[in-house]
Amino acid sequence: MKIAVVVRQVPDLIEPLEIDASGAALDLSSASFIVNESDDHALEQAILLKEAGGATVDVVALDFGDVDNTLYTAAAKGADRIFKVPLEGLPPPPRATAALLAEAIKPLAADLVLVGVQAHDELDGGVSPFLAAALGLPYVGVIRGVKAGPEPGMVTVCKEFPGAVMARMKVKLPAVLGILGADQPPRYVSVSRIRAAMKSTQFEERAVPTPPPEPLLSVCRLYPPVSGSRAEMLAGSEADVAARIAEILAEKGLVK
């Protein structure tokens, strides 16, 4: 099985986010970037499938936001090949990002494309379904675990629905899966192994000619949430506070 995994860099929320002079975008000039969490799970899932037998793992990333560290870590975890898509400036909105990634992924002829189901910088929709559409492949999202089989050319996935309902599905390949979580948390690789990967890994460049599609929506104004004053502060003894909490829960119909 040939697996392609998408990893994206997103702004790291340990730094306070600032709005730029236009008032309609974040000031990313002093932001730092980390790997998108669900993409990290997509990579873990790919490595687990490889370890379970016979898969190859290609990682595709836009060249943006300290992505090299993330890619060396992916190599240290066991990715076979790493492709970087050159990018001028910031990544475009999701539809355009999906179009760029699709152009880079097509030549890989992957059986299975794994991509994080969400990222906290997605604005006009999620990259993962757009990517499936751009590749002309079927899509299943919100996946929590993938196994090869039961038949060749097929994977079995665990899909999460609202209300804690889980479904087990057989998916015919090729397909794109939007990963929420891998079968196990992303593994730790020691820095020695990352440093070794820095010395031994060559990235391949995938220049993509396609002009990105125009965004469907534009931002008029960006502003921090306005704090309201509807919180009820509970005071008194522990017993009074506990009694009031029980009352509130009953009022809201949360307990009977």
| Closest distance to other proteins from the beta carbon of 133 (Å) | 34
Residue closer to other proteins by CB (options 172, 195) is 195
Residue closer to other proteins by CB (options 76, 175) is 76
Residue closer to other proteins by CB (options 18, 204) is 18
Residue closer to other proteins by CB (options 16, 150) is 16
Residue closer to other proteins by CB (options 149, 185) is 185
Which of 161, 146, 190 lies closest to 42 in space, CA to CA?
Answer: 146
Q: Contact 178/128 with Cβ under 8 angstroms?
A: yes
| Closest distance to other proteins from the beta carbon of 197 (Å) | 11
| Closest distance to other proteins from the beta carbon of 48 (Å) | 13
| Closest distance to other proteins from the beta carbon of 223 (Å) | 22
| Closest distance to other proteins from the beta carbon of 187 (Å) | 6
DSSP 217: -
Which of 33, 18, 28 lies closest to 222 in space, CA to CA?
Answer: 18
b/e map of 94-122 (b: 16 or more CB within 10 Å)? bbbbbbbbbbbbeebebbbbbbbbbbebb
Which of 224, 226, 228, 245 lies closest to 236 in space, CA to CA?
Answer: 245
- H helices present in the chain, as ranges: 37-52, 67-77, 94-105, 127-135, 191-200, 238-251
| Closest distance to other proteins from the beta carbon of 34 (Å) | 7
Residue closer to other proteins by CB (options 25, 191) is 191
Residue 175: what are its φ and ψ, rounded to 5°? -160, 160
Which of 253, 232, 208 lies closest to 99 in space, CA to CA?
Answer: 208
Burial of 34 from C-beta contacts in 10 A (0-12 / 13-18 / 19+) = middle
Which of 77, 82, 51 lies closest to 148 in space, CA to CA?
Answer: 51
Residue closer to other proteins by CB (options 108, 196) is 196
| Closest distance to other proteins from the beta carbon of 14 (Å) | 5
Binding stretches for other proteins (CB under 8 A) = 12, 14-16, 34, 185, 187-188, 190-195
